[in-house]
Protein backbone atom coordinates (compact mmCIF):
# COMPACT_ATOMS: atom_id res chain seq x y z
CA UNK A 1 0.00 0.00 0.00
CA UNK A 2 1.65 3.17 -1.11
CA UNK A 3 -0.39 5.80 0.64
CA UNK A 4 -2.40 4.20 3.41
CA UNK A 5 -3.36 7.39 5.26
CA UNK A 6 -4.87 8.98 2.21
CA UNK A 7 -6.71 5.83 1.32
CA UNK A 8 -8.14 5.36 4.76
CA UNK A 9 -9.53 8.86 4.67
CA UNK A 10 -11.10 8.03 1.39
CA UNK A 11 -12.67 4.87 2.71
CA UNK A 12 -13.90 6.83 5.71
CA UNK A 13 -15.69 9.22 3.43
CA UNK A 14 -17.33 6.44 1.48
CA UNK A 15 -18.49 4.82 4.70
CA UNK A 16 -19.92 8.12 5.86
CA UNK A 17 -21.94 8.32 2.71
CA UNK A 18 -23.25 4.82 3.15
CA UNK A 19 -24.27 5.52 6.69
CA UNK A 20 -26.14 8.62 5.67
CA UNK A 21 -27.82 6.64 2.98
CA UNK A 22 -26.47 8.97 0.35
CA UNK A 23 -25.72 7.30 -2.91
CA UNK A 24 -22.04 7.85 -3.53
CA UNK A 25 -22.95 8.12 -7.18
CA UNK A 26 -24.47 11.55 -6.57
CA UNK A 27 -21.01 12.85 -5.69
CA UNK A 28 -20.20 12.98 -9.32
CA UNK A 29 -18.15 9.83 -9.24
CA UNK A 30 -18.57 7.58 -12.21
CA UNK A 31 -20.56 4.94 -10.32
CA UNK A 32 -20.65 3.00 -7.07
CA UNK A 33 -22.37 -0.07 -5.63
CA UNK A 34 -23.48 -0.41 -2.05
CA UNK A 35 -24.70 -3.88 -1.49
CA UNK A 36 -26.43 -5.24 1.61
CA UNK A 37 -25.88 -8.94 2.07
CA UNK A 38 -28.33 -11.14 3.91
CA UNK A 39 -27.91 -11.13 7.67
CA UNK A 40 -25.58 -13.78 9.02
CA UNK A 41 -26.68 -15.55 12.15
CA UNK A 42 -23.99 -17.29 14.11
CA UNK A 43 -23.70 -18.91 17.50
CA UNK A 44 -21.53 -17.62 20.27
CA UNK A 45 -18.16 -19.38 20.24
CA UNK A 46 -18.22 -20.28 16.58
CA UNK A 47 -15.90 -18.94 13.88
CA UNK A 48 -17.28 -16.33 11.55
CA UNK A 49 -16.00 -16.05 7.98
CA UNK A 50 -16.52 -12.75 6.23
CA UNK A 51 -16.00 -12.87 2.52
CA UNK A 52 -16.45 -10.40 -0.27
CA UNK A 53 -15.66 -10.59 -3.95
CA UNK A 54 -12.93 -8.49 -5.46
CA UNK A 55 -12.47 -8.16 -9.21
CA UNK A 56 -10.05 -6.61 -11.62
CA UNK A 57 -8.42 -3.28 -11.06
CA UNK A 58 -8.87 -3.35 -7.33
CA UNK A 59 -6.51 -0.86 -5.82
CA UNK A 60 -7.55 -1.05 -2.19
CA UNK A 61 -9.75 -3.26 -0.15
CA UNK A 62 -10.71 -3.42 3.52
CA UNK A 63 -12.96 -5.15 6.01
CA UNK A 64 -14.45 -2.94 8.69
CA UNK A 65 -16.29 -3.55 11.92
CA UNK A 66 -18.63 -0.61 12.14
CA UNK A 67 -16.22 2.20 11.36
CA UNK A 68 -12.96 0.63 12.48
CA UNK A 69 -10.77 -1.19 10.05
CA UNK A 70 -10.04 -4.81 10.77
CA UNK A 71 -7.96 -5.52 7.70
CA UNK A 72 -6.75 -3.16 4.99
CA UNK A 73 -5.56 -5.43 2.27
CA UNK A 74 -3.29 -7.89 3.96
CA UNK A 75 -2.40 -5.46 6.72
CA UNK A 76 -4.05 -6.23 9.97
CA UNK A 77 -5.32 -3.12 11.72
CA UNK A 78 -7.33 -4.83 14.38
CA UNK A 79 -5.50 -5.68 17.60
CA UNK A 80 -7.96 -8.47 18.29
CA UNK A 81 -6.10 -11.81 18.12
CA UNK A 82 -9.30 -13.57 17.10
CA UNK A 83 -9.29 -11.75 13.77
CA UNK A 84 -7.15 -13.15 10.96
CA UNK A 85 -6.82 -13.15 7.21
CA UNK A 86 -7.96 -16.23 5.34
CA UNK A 87 -7.75 -15.33 1.64
CA UNK A 88 -6.86 -12.29 -0.34
CA UNK A 89 -6.64 -12.63 -4.08
CA UNK A 90 -8.22 -11.36 -7.28
CA UNK A 91 -11.47 -13.14 -6.52
CA UNK A 92 -12.11 -12.85 -2.84
CA UNK A 93 -11.12 -11.18 0.37
CA UNK A 94 -11.95 -13.35 3.37
CA UNK A 95 -11.18 -12.79 7.02
CA UNK A 96 -12.30 -14.81 9.98
CA UNK A 97 -13.28 -13.99 13.53
CA UNK A 98 -12.85 -16.83 15.95
CA UNK A 99 -14.81 -17.42 19.15
CA UNK A 100 -17.52 -14.94 18.22
CA UNK A 101 -19.17 -13.19 21.13
CA UNK A 102 -22.21 -11.00 21.62
CA UNK A 103 -20.12 -7.83 21.35
CA UNK A 104 -19.17 -8.77 17.78
CA UNK A 105 -22.74 -8.27 16.70
CA UNK A 106 -23.37 -5.52 14.22
CA UNK A 107 -22.57 -4.23 10.79
CA UNK A 108 -19.42 -5.35 8.95
CA UNK A 109 -18.41 -3.67 5.74
CA UNK A 110 -16.20 -4.74 2.91
CA UNK A 111 -14.98 -1.67 1.04
CA UNK A 112 -13.38 -2.14 -2.34
CA UNK A 113 -11.77 0.62 -4.29
CA UNK A 114 -11.14 0.19 -7.98
CA UNK A 115 -9.53 2.76 -10.22
CA UNK A 116 -12.92 3.97 -11.26
CA UNK A 117 -15.55 3.06 -8.71
CA UNK A 118 -15.79 2.37 -4.99
CA UNK A 119 -17.90 -0.52 -3.91
CA UNK A 120 -19.09 -1.63 -0.46
CA UNK A 121 -20.76 -4.73 0.73
CA UNK A 122 -22.23 -4.69 4.20
CA UNK A 123 -23.47 -7.55 6.23
CA UNK A 124 -25.27 -7.61 9.55
CA UNK A 125 -24.01 -10.22 12.01
CA UNK A 126 -26.42 -11.58 14.56
CA UNK A 127 -24.95 -13.61 17.40
CA UNK A 128 -27.08 -16.23 19.09
CA UNK A 129 -26.43 -17.55 22.56
CA UNK A 130 -27.77 -20.88 23.79
CA UNK A 131 -29.95 -20.59 26.89
CA UNK A 132 -28.29 -21.04 30.23
CA UNK A 133 -30.07 -21.16 33.52
CA UNK A 134 -28.13 -18.80 35.76
CA UNK A 135 -30.22 -18.55 38.86
CA UNK A 136 -32.29 -21.44 40.09
CA UNK A 137 -33.98 -22.07 43.42
CA UNK A 138 -32.11 -24.51 45.61
CA UNK A 139 -33.65 -27.81 46.65
CA UNK A 140 -36.26 -26.89 49.19
CA UNK A 141 -37.70 -28.43 52.35
CA UNK A 142 -40.92 -26.81 53.57
CA UNK A 143 -43.76 -27.62 55.90
CA UNK A 144 -47.15 -28.44 54.50
CA UNK A 145 -49.21 -25.29 54.12
CA UNK A 146 -46.27 -23.02 53.27
CA UNK A 147 -46.33 -20.72 50.29
CA UNK A 148 -43.59 -21.88 47.95
CA UNK A 149 -41.91 -19.81 45.24
CA UNK A 150 -39.55 -21.42 42.77
CA UNK A 151 -37.35 -19.19 40.65
CA UNK A 152 -35.54 -19.86 37.41
CA UNK A 153 -33.61 -17.16 35.56
CA UNK A 154 -31.88 -17.80 32.27
CA UNK A 155 -29.69 -15.99 29.77
CA UNK A 156 -29.67 -16.52 26.04
CA UNK A 157 -30.30 -14.86 22.73
CA UNK A 158 -32.95 -14.86 21.51
CA UNK A 159 -34.42 -14.47 24.99
CA UNK A 160 -35.30 -17.99 26.15
CA UNK A 161 -38.82 -18.98 27.05
CA UNK A 162 -39.02 -20.42 30.54
CA UNK A 163 -41.36 -23.21 31.57
CA UNK A 164 -41.76 -24.81 34.98
CA UNK A 165 -43.42 -28.15 35.42
CA UNK A 166 -43.69 -30.86 38.01
CA UNK A 167 -42.04 -33.97 36.62
CA UNK A 168 -43.91 -36.53 38.69
CA UNK A 169 -47.36 -35.01 38.17
CA UNK A 170 -49.55 -36.71 35.61
CA UNK A 171 -51.63 -33.60 35.01
CA UNK A 172 -50.33 -30.21 34.00
CA UNK A 173 -52.00 -28.36 36.83
CA UNK A 174 -48.63 -27.46 38.27
CA UNK A 175 -46.82 -25.61 35.56
CA UNK A 176 -45.97 -22.07 34.70
CA UNK A 177 -44.78 -20.27 31.60
CA UNK A 178 -42.80 -17.99 33.76
CA UNK A 179 -39.54 -17.60 35.66
CA UNK A 180 -41.52 -17.94 38.85
CA UNK A 181 -43.65 -20.86 39.95
CA UNK A 182 -45.85 -20.05 42.93
CA UNK A 183 -47.44 -22.80 44.95
CA UNK A 184 -49.62 -21.39 47.70
CA UNK A 185 -50.46 -23.54 50.73
CA UNK A 186 -48.46 -26.45 49.45
CA UNK A 187 -49.84 -29.91 50.12
CA UNK A 188 -47.86 -33.13 50.56
CA UNK A 189 -49.06 -34.27 47.13
CA UNK A 190 -47.12 -31.47 45.51
CA UNK A 191 -43.81 -32.65 46.84
CA UNK A 192 -41.50 -33.91 44.15
CA UNK A 193 -39.15 -32.92 41.40
CA UNK A 194 -39.79 -29.73 39.48
CA UNK A 195 -38.14 -29.00 36.17
CA UNK A 196 -37.27 -25.64 34.70
CA UNK A 197 -36.73 -25.54 30.96
CA UNK A 198 -35.22 -22.53 29.22
CA UNK A 199 -35.51 -22.80 25.45
CA UNK A 200 -34.75 -20.60 22.49
CA UNK A 201 -34.36 -21.25 18.77
CA UNK A 202 -30.98 -22.86 19.18
CA UNK A 203 -30.99 -24.95 22.32
CA UNK A 204 -32.62 -25.95 25.58
CA UNK A 205 -31.28 -25.88 29.11
CA UNK A 206 -32.99 -27.92 31.78
CA UNK A 207 -32.49 -28.03 35.51
CA UNK A 208 -34.43 -29.61 38.33
CA UNK A 209 -35.30 -28.69 41.87
CA UNK A 210 -36.44 -31.14 44.50
CA UNK A 211 -39.19 -29.98 46.77
CA UNK A 212 -39.73 -31.83 50.04
CA UNK A 213 -42.92 -31.18 51.97
CA UNK A 214 -42.87 -32.11 55.65
CA UNK A 215 -46.06 -33.15 57.36
CA UNK A 216 -46.93 -34.75 60.71
CA UNK A 217 -47.60 -38.51 60.91
CA UNK A 218 -50.92 -40.12 60.33
CA UNK A 219 -51.31 -43.79 61.23
CA UNK A 220 -53.69 -46.19 59.59
CA UNK A 221 -56.16 -47.83 61.96
CA UNK A 222 -54.59 -50.79 63.71
CA UNK A 223 -55.94 -54.22 62.85
CA UNK A 224 -56.49 -56.43 65.87
CA UNK A 225 -54.57 -59.66 65.73
CA UNK A 226 -55.67 -63.10 66.89
CA UNK A 227 -52.96 -65.61 67.79
CA UNK A 228 -53.03 -69.07 69.27
CA UNK A 229 -51.12 -69.57 72.48
CA UNK A 230 -47.48 -70.51 71.80
CA UNK A 231 -47.53 -69.21 68.23
CA UNK A 232 -45.78 -66.26 66.70
CA UNK A 233 -47.73 -63.01 66.79
CA UNK A 234 -47.05 -59.90 64.70
CA UNK A 235 -48.54 -56.43 65.24
CA UNK A 236 -48.17 -53.95 62.37
CA UNK A 237 -48.30 -50.20 62.54
CA UNK A 238 -48.18 -48.09 59.40
CA UNK A 239 -47.52 -44.36 59.38
CA UNK A 240 -47.38 -41.74 56.66
CA UNK A 241 -45.03 -38.91 57.53
CA UNK A 242 -42.26 -36.66 56.20
CA UNK A 243 -39.67 -36.82 57.59
CA UNK A 244 -40.16 -40.50 58.29
CA UNK A 245 -41.75 -41.23 61.64
CA UNK A 246 -40.11 -42.85 64.64
CA UNK A 247 -42.26 -45.44 66.33
CA UNK A 248 -42.99 -46.18 69.99
CA UNK A 249 -44.96 -49.17 71.23
CA UNK A 250 -46.93 -49.26 74.47
CA UNK A 251 -48.72 -51.93 76.38
CA UNK A 252 -51.36 -49.88 78.19
CA UNK A 253 -49.10 -47.14 79.58
CA UNK A 254 -45.86 -49.13 79.66
CA UNK A 255 -43.33 -48.58 76.87
CA UNK A 256 -42.11 -51.71 75.11
CA UNK A 257 -38.56 -51.79 73.77
CA UNK A 258 -36.90 -53.96 71.21
CA UNK A 259 -35.08 -56.87 72.89
CA UNK A 260 -37.65 -57.36 75.65
CA UNK A 261 -37.99 -61.01 76.38
CA UNK A 262 -39.38 -62.78 73.30
CA UNK A 263 -40.15 -59.50 71.56
CA UNK A 264 -38.63 -57.84 68.55
CA UNK A 265 -39.46 -54.40 67.13
CA UNK A 266 -38.40 -53.65 63.57
CA UNK A 267 -38.92 -50.32 61.86
CA UNK A 268 -38.74 -50.15 58.11
CA UNK A 269 -39.62 -46.80 56.61
CA UNK A 270 -43.24 -46.12 57.33
CA UNK A 271 -43.86 -49.50 58.91
CA UNK A 272 -43.17 -50.80 62.42
CA UNK A 273 -43.45 -54.47 63.23
CA UNK A 274 -43.78 -55.82 66.78
CA UNK A 275 -43.15 -59.58 66.88
CA UNK A 276 -43.89 -61.98 69.74
CA UNK A 277 -41.90 -65.11 69.04
CA UNK A 278 -44.03 -67.25 71.35
CA UNK A 279 -47.25 -65.68 72.50
CA UNK A 280 -48.01 -66.33 76.18
CA UNK A 281 -51.23 -65.80 78.12
CA UNK A 282 -49.80 -62.57 79.57
CA UNK A 283 -49.13 -61.11 76.14
CA UNK A 284 -52.80 -60.81 75.22
CA UNK A 285 -53.97 -57.29 75.64
CA UNK A 286 -54.25 -53.79 74.28
CA UNK A 287 -51.18 -52.30 72.57
CA UNK A 288 -50.70 -48.89 71.11
CA UNK A 289 -48.33 -47.64 68.51
CA UNK A 290 -47.27 -44.00 68.41
CA UNK A 291 -45.65 -42.50 65.31
CA UNK A 292 -43.66 -39.32 65.89
CA UNK A 293 -41.78 -36.83 63.77
CA UNK A 294 -40.75 -33.25 64.43
CA UNK A 295 -44.11 -31.93 63.28
CA UNK A 296 -46.28 -34.09 65.51
CA UNK A 297 -47.48 -37.54 66.41
CA UNK A 298 -50.35 -39.94 65.88
CA UNK A 299 -51.34 -43.23 67.45
CA UNK A 300 -53.52 -46.23 67.06
CA UNK A 301 -54.30 -49.18 69.29
CA UNK A 302 -54.16 -52.86 68.41
CA UNK A 303 -55.55 -55.68 70.47
CA UNK A 304 -53.70 -59.00 70.58
CA UNK A 305 -56.35 -61.58 71.36
CA UNK A 306 -56.36 -65.32 71.79
CA UNK A 307 -57.56 -67.79 69.23
CA UNK A 308 -58.55 -71.10 70.72
CA UNK A 309 -56.74 -73.80 68.79
CA UNK A 310 -59.27 -75.74 66.77
CA UNK A 311 -59.98 -79.21 68.18
CA UNK A 312 -59.40 -82.27 66.02
CA UNK A 313 -63.14 -82.47 65.28
CA UNK A 314 -63.35 -78.88 64.04
CA UNK A 315 -60.20 -79.47 61.99
CA UNK A 316 -61.93 -82.35 60.22
CA UNK A 317 -65.21 -80.52 59.91
CA UNK A 318 -63.90 -77.15 58.69
CA UNK A 319 -62.17 -77.92 55.42
CA UNK A 320 -64.41 -80.97 54.92
CA UNK A 321 -67.51 -78.81 54.91
CA UNK A 322 -66.09 -76.65 52.16
CA UNK A 323 -65.08 -79.64 50.12
CA UNK A 324 -68.57 -81.12 50.50
CA UNK A 325 -69.94 -78.12 48.69
CA UNK A 326 -67.77 -78.82 45.66
CA UNK A 327 -67.92 -82.57 45.52
CA UNK A 328 -71.65 -82.42 46.29
CA UNK A 329 -72.38 -80.66 43.04
CA UNK A 330 -69.90 -82.70 41.02
CA UNK A 331 -71.66 -85.93 41.98
CA UNK A 332 -74.80 -84.54 40.39
CA UNK A 333 -73.10 -84.56 37.00
CA UNK A 334 -74.22 -87.47 34.93
CA UNK A 335 -71.98 -88.60 32.03
CA UNK A 336 -74.27 -86.84 29.50
CA UNK A 337 -74.09 -83.68 31.46
CA UNK A 338 -70.27 -83.88 31.46
CA UNK A 339 -70.28 -84.46 27.70
CA UNK A 340 -72.42 -81.34 27.23
CA UNK A 341 -70.02 -79.33 29.32
CA UNK A 342 -67.04 -80.58 27.30
CA UNK A 343 -68.84 -79.69 24.06
CA UNK A 344 -69.69 -76.25 25.39
CA UNK A 345 -66.05 -75.70 26.26
CA UNK A 346 -65.02 -76.67 22.77
CA UNK A 347 -67.61 -74.37 21.21
CA UNK A 348 -66.54 -71.46 23.36
CA UNK A 349 -62.96 -71.88 22.21
CA UNK A 350 -63.91 -71.03 18.64
C1 LIG B 1 -31.05 -7.97 9.65
O2 LIG B 1 -30.91 -7.64 11.04
C3 LIG B 1 -31.36 -6.34 11.38
C4 LIG B 1 -31.02 -6.10 12.84
O5 LIG B 1 -31.43 -7.15 13.64
C6 LIG B 1 -32.84 -6.24 11.10
O7 LIG B 1 -33.30 -4.95 11.39
C8 LIG B 1 -33.09 -6.56 9.63
O9 LIG B 1 -34.48 -6.59 9.41
C10 LIG B 1 -32.51 -7.90 9.27
N11 LIG B 1 -32.65 -8.09 7.84
C12 LIG B 1 -33.01 -9.27 7.36
C13 LIG B 1 -33.06 -9.34 5.88
O14 LIG B 1 -33.29 -10.22 8.05
C1 LIG C 1 -16.48 -4.96 16.69
O2 LIG C 1 -16.77 -3.76 17.34
C3 LIG C 1 -17.31 -3.85 18.64
C4 LIG C 1 -17.64 -2.47 19.12
O5 LIG C 1 -16.55 -1.62 19.05
C6 LIG C 1 -16.31 -4.55 19.54
O7 LIG C 1 -16.85 -4.68 20.84
C8 LIG C 1 -16.02 -5.91 18.97
O9 LIG C 1 -15.02 -6.57 19.75
C10 LIG C 1 -15.52 -5.77 17.54
N11 LIG C 1 -15.35 -7.10 17.00
C12 LIG C 1 -14.34 -7.43 16.22
C13 LIG C 1 -14.25 -8.82 15.75
O14 LIG C 1 -13.51 -6.59 15.92
C1 LIG D 1 -30.77 -15.19 42.21
O2 LIG D 1 -32.03 -14.66 42.48
C3 LIG D 1 -32.24 -14.28 43.81
C4 LIG D 1 -33.67 -13.82 43.94
O5 LIG D 1 -34.01 -12.90 42.95
C6 LIG D 1 -31.26 -13.17 44.19
O7 LIG D 1 -31.43 -12.84 45.53
C8 LIG D 1 -29.87 -13.68 43.96
O9 LIG D 1 -28.95 -12.65 44.20
C10 LIG D 1 -29.70 -14.16 42.54
N11 LIG D 1 -28.40 -14.78 42.41
C12 LIG D 1 -27.65 -14.61 41.33
C13 LIG D 1 -26.36 -15.32 41.31
O14 LIG D 1 -28.03 -13.90 40.41
C1 LIG E 1 -49.53 -17.53 51.95
O2 LIG E 1 -50.10 -16.63 51.05
C3 LIG E 1 -51.41 -16.19 51.44
C4 LIG E 1 -51.93 -15.27 50.36
O5 LIG E 1 -51.69 -15.80 49.13
C6 LIG E 1 -51.34 -15.49 52.76
O7 LIG E 1 -52.64 -15.14 53.17
C8 LIG E 1 -50.70 -16.39 53.78
O9 LIG E 1 -50.52 -15.70 54.99
C10 LIG E 1 -49.35 -16.89 53.30
N11 LIG E 1 -48.85 -17.87 54.25
C12 LIG E 1 -47.61 -17.83 54.71
C13 LIG E 1 -47.21 -18.92 55.66
O14 LIG E 1 -46.82 -16.97 54.36
C1 LIG F 1 -43.46 -71.27 73.92
O2 LIG F 1 -43.49 -71.07 75.34
C3 LIG F 1 -44.00 -72.21 76.06
C4 LIG F 1 -44.09 -71.81 77.50
O5 LIG F 1 -43.00 -71.03 77.91
C6 LIG F 1 -43.07 -73.38 75.81
O7 LIG F 1 -43.59 -74.52 76.46
C8 LIG F 1 -43.01 -73.67 74.31
O9 LIG F 1 -42.10 -74.70 74.03
C10 LIG F 1 -42.57 -72.42 73.54
N11 LIG F 1 -42.65 -72.68 72.13
C12 LIG F 1 -41.72 -72.38 71.27
C13 LIG F 1 -41.99 -72.71 69.83
O14 LIG F 1 -40.66 -71.88 71.64
C1 LIG G 1 -56.90 -49.74 73.92
O2 LIG G 1 -56.31 -48.58 74.55
C3 LIG G 1 -56.64 -47.34 74.01
C4 LIG G 1 -55.91 -46.26 74.75
O5 LIG G 1 -54.64 -46.68 75.10
C6 LIG G 1 -58.14 -47.14 74.07
O7 LIG G 1 -58.43 -45.90 73.41
C8 LIG G 1 -58.83 -48.25 73.36
O9 LIG G 1 -60.22 -48.11 73.46
C10 LIG G 1 -58.40 -49.59 73.93
N11 LIG G 1 -59.01 -50.63 73.17
C12 LIG G 1 -59.65 -51.64 73.74
C13 LIG G 1 -60.25 -52.65 72.81
O14 LIG G 1 -59.74 -51.71 74.94
C1 LIG H 1 -53.29 -40.85 70.82
O2 LIG H 1 -54.04 -39.95 70.02
C3 LIG H 1 -55.07 -39.28 70.71
C4 LIG H 1 -55.79 -38.42 69.68
O5 LIG H 1 -55.93 -39.10 68.50
C6 LIG H 1 -54.49 -38.44 71.81
O7 LIG H 1 -55.53 -37.83 72.52
C8 LIG H 1 -53.64 -39.29 72.72
O9 LIG H 1 -53.00 -38.49 73.68
C10 LIG H 1 -52.61 -40.05 71.94
N11 LIG H 1 -51.88 -40.96 72.80
C12 LIG H 1 -50.56 -41.00 72.82
C13 LIG H 1 -49.94 -42.00 73.74
O14 LIG H 1 -49.87 -40.27 72.14
Higher pLDDT, 284 or 327: 284
Position 327 pLDDT exceeds 60: no
Pairwise CA distance, residues 194 & 264, whole Å: 40
- CATH architecture designation of domain 4-128: Sandwich (2.60)
Which range among 3-7, 275-279, 339-343 has the greatest average pLDDT? 275-279
State the distance from the centre of ligand 2 to the C-alpha of 104, rounded, in angstroms. Answer: 5
Position 150 pLDDT exceeds 80: yes
The pLDDT of residue 254? 94
Contacts of 174 (CB under 8 A, 6+ apart): 165, 166, 181, 183, 190, 194
The pLDDT of residue 31? 55
What single DSSP character describes residue 170?
A: S
The pLDDT of residue 165? 92
Are 32 and 39 in contact by the 8 Å Cβ rule? The answer is no
The pLDDT of residue 57? 85
* 0.85 exceeded by pTM: no
Cβ of 135 less than 6 Å from ligand 3: yes
Mutational pocket test of ligand 5: of 229, 275, 278, the residue with most ligand atoms within 8 Å of the beta carbon: 278
Cβ of 289 less than 6 Å from ligand 7: no
Helical ranges in 294-334 per DSSP H = 312-332
The pLDDT of residue 175? 78
Per-residue pLDDT tens digits for 232-250: 999 999 999 999 999 999 9
Task: Give the domain ranges of the chain.
Answer: 4-128, 137-216, 220-306
State the distance from the centre of ligand 7 to the C-alpha of 275, rounded, in angstroms. Answer: 23
The pLDDT of residue 191? 93
Ligand index nearest the alpha carbon of residue 40: 1
Average pLDDT in the chain: 84
Pocket-forming residues, ligand 4, beta carbon under 6 Å:
146-147, 184
| Ligand 4: nearest atom to the Cα of 147 | 1
Give, using CA atoms, the residue closest to atom 3 of ligand 1.
Answer: 124
Q: Phi and psi at residue 19, in whole multiples of 5°? A: -65, -30
| Ligand 7: nearest atom to the Cα of 297 | 14
Per-residue pLDDT tens digits for 251-264: 988 999 998 889 99
Give, using CA atoms, the residue closest to atom 11 of ligand 7.
Answer: 299
The pLDDT of residue 324? 40
Position 330 pLDDT exceeds 50: no
pLDDT mean over 253-281: 94
Please tell me the class of the 137-216 domain: mainly beta
pLDDT mean over 13-18: 36
Give which of 161, 76, 64, 80 is closest to 120, Cα–Cα: 64
Contacts of 28 (CB under 8 A, 6+ apart): none
How many whole angstroms from its chain centre is CA 157? 21
Are 326 and 332 in contact by the 8 Å Cβ rule? The answer is no
Q: What is the CATH number of domain 220-306?
A: 2.60.40.10
Pairwise CA distance, residues 75 & 11, whole Å: 15
Pairwise CA distance, residues 343 & 300, whole Å: 57
Would you say the C-alpha torsion 77, 83, 89, 91 has a positive or negative sign? negative
Are 267 and 260 in contact by the 8 Å Cβ rule? The answer is no
Per-residue pLDDT tens digits for 59-104: 899 999 999 999 999 999 999 999 999 999 999 999 999 999 999 9
Cβ of 124 less than 6 Å from ligand 1: yes
State the distance from the centre of ligand 3 to the C-alpha of 99, rounded, in angstroms. Answer: 29
Would you say the C-alpha torsion 57, 62, 63, 66 has a positive or negative sign? negative
Same topology for domains 137-216 and 220-306, yes or no? Answer: yes
| Ligand 3: nearest atom to the Cα of 135 | 1
Where is average pLDDT lowest: 86-95, 110-119, 312-321?
Answer: 312-321
Ligand index nearest the alpha carbon of residue 281: 5
Give, using CA atoms, the residue closest to atom 3 of ligand 7.
Answer: 299
Ligand index nearest the alpha carbon of residue 101: 2
Position 322 pLDDT exceeds 70: no
The pLDDT of residue 314? 47
Percent of the chain's residues with pLDDT above 90: 70
Give which of 247, 202, 188 is closest to 41, Cα–Cα: 202
Cβ of 299 less than 6 Å from ligand 7: yes
The pLDDT of residue 198? 97
| Ligand 2: nearest atom to the Cα of 70 | 14
Higher pLDDT, 21 or 122: 122
Position 341 pLDDT exceeds 80: no
Higher pLDDT, 8 or 133: 133
Position 28 pLDDT exceeds 70: no
Amino acid sequence: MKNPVCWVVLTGISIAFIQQGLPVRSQGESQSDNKQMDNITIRQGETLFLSCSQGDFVTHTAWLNRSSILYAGEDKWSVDPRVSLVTLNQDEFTIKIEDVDLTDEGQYICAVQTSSRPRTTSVHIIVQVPPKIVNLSKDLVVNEGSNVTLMCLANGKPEPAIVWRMISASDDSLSSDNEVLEIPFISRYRAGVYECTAANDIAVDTQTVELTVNFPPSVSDGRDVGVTLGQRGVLLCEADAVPEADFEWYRDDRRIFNGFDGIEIEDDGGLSKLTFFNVSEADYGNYSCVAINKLGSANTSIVLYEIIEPTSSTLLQGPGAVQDGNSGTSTVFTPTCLLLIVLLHLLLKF
